[in-house]
Amino acid sequence: MAAADDGEGSEDEGWGMLCSLVDESDLVPSDYRPVHLTATLPHGARSFTVQQDGAARARPVAGLGESEAAVATGAVVWDGSVVLAAALPHLATTLNLCTGEAGGFNGVNVLEVGAGSSGLPGLVAAALGASVTLTDGASVLLPSLRAAVEANCSDAERARVNVAELRWGDLSAATASAADTVRPRSYDLVLAAECIYDVDAVSPLLVLLTTALSPGGNSRALVSVDKKIGRDTAYAAFEELAAASFDVEQSSCRDKAFDSETVTIYILALKGES
């Protein structure tokens, strides 16, 4: 696939990085545009379509309040989300997370945090057979997240997908709205795409990952970042703090259809359990 030229020039030149993965249509009057991903699953190719706010992609978040900034960033399908979604079937196989026949995710519990309005990696996990909980801390984004589930999941997959509001931190102190849906130490796989953007958010994110992963040697967290965004201080803080509780590997994503020069996926396993 090739990314369509939306006429914005250098302001959005990084979007073309994923031209082999993403087909981005021209802006429509509402400023929402579809983003299309074709993922290679064990039983063949599967297409996903989610929406992003074209205006929000270039909108500065400096000076916005916490909730406003969350909405502005969560309305965008960032490159790290697309790459993590496309890489997930491959990573699931190489990390030995697959169960059942032909590399499926049957019986695997997956939590996506900071899913925004699309939850693209979680949608791919659901298509692989996982039970998935999609979460974001901005409640205003949840209707769009539910719409993405309705548009992309089969009836059987929808029965295995939940959507909940969840702020980062210790899951034992989860808000009442998430308490019945998100449970501590229950997840074989936690997905976090483009969640490392602010130094102050690194510690709550890592606490969440630590308390979400199920005990046992095969649970993992996959955390993607697009380093061209340039949040180098936050990336360094994440790497330093993560090393205290996790064994950390990095995948450069220079492989197959999800080739990317700037997106890194951190692979985290709780120390002593990898």
Q: Give the pLDDT confidence of 229-248 residue by residue, as tens digits.
A: 888 999 999 999 999 999 99
Q: Which residue has the higher pLDDT, 91 or 100?
A: 91
pLDDT band at 103 (very low <50, low <70, confident <90, very high): low
Q: Are strands 161-165 and 44-53 parallel, antiparallel or unpaired?
A: unpaired
Mean pLDDT of 134-160: 93
* Residues in Cβ contact with 117 at an 8 Å cutoff, skipping those fewer than 6 apart: 50, 51, 52, 53, 74, 75, 136, 141, 144, 145, 148
Amino acid at 33: R
pLDDT of 58 over the 60 cut: no
3-47 pLDDT, tens digit per residue, is: 223 333 322 332 222 223 333 333 333 356 788 888 888 878 899
Mean pLDDT of 135-153: 92
Q: CA-to-CA distance for 146 and 238, rounded, in angstroms? A: 30
Q: Which helix (H) or strand (E) holds 207?
A: helix 199-212
Across the chain, the runs of DSSP E, i.e. the strands, are: 22-24, 32-41, 44-53, 109-113, 131-136, 161-165, 189-193, 220-226, 246-251, 263-270
pLDDT of 113 over the 60 cut: yes
pLDDT value, residue 31? 56
pLDDT band at 2 (very low <50, low <70, confident <90, very high): very low
Residue 20: C-alpha distances to residues 2, 118, 142, 261, 263 (Å): 6, 20, 29, 13, 14
Are 101 and 14 within 8 A, CB to CB?
no
Q: Which of the residue ranges 172-176, 182-186, 225-229, 234-238 would you say has the lowest mean pLDDT?
A: 172-176
Mean pLDDT of 53-80: 63
Q: CA-to-CA distance for 129 and 108, rounded, in angstroms? A: 8
Q: Which residues of 164-176 are buried (b: 16+ CB within 10 A; e: fewer)?
A: bbbbbbebeebee
Residue 115 falls in which region: left (phi positive, over 0), alpha (psi -120 to 50) or beta: alpha
Does the predicted model carry a pTM greater than 0.85?
Answer: no
* Residues in Cβ contact with 205 at an 8 Å cutoff, skipping those fewer than 6 apart: 113, 168, 192, 195, 196, 238
Q: In the chain, pLDDT over 90 holds for what percent of residues?
A: 43
How many helices (H) and strands (E) the chain has is answered by: 9, 10
Residue 60 tokens read as 């500065």
Q: CA-to-CA distance for 40 and 261, rounded, in angstroms? A: 20
Q: What angle do CA 96, 97, 99 make, to 5 degrees?
A: 100
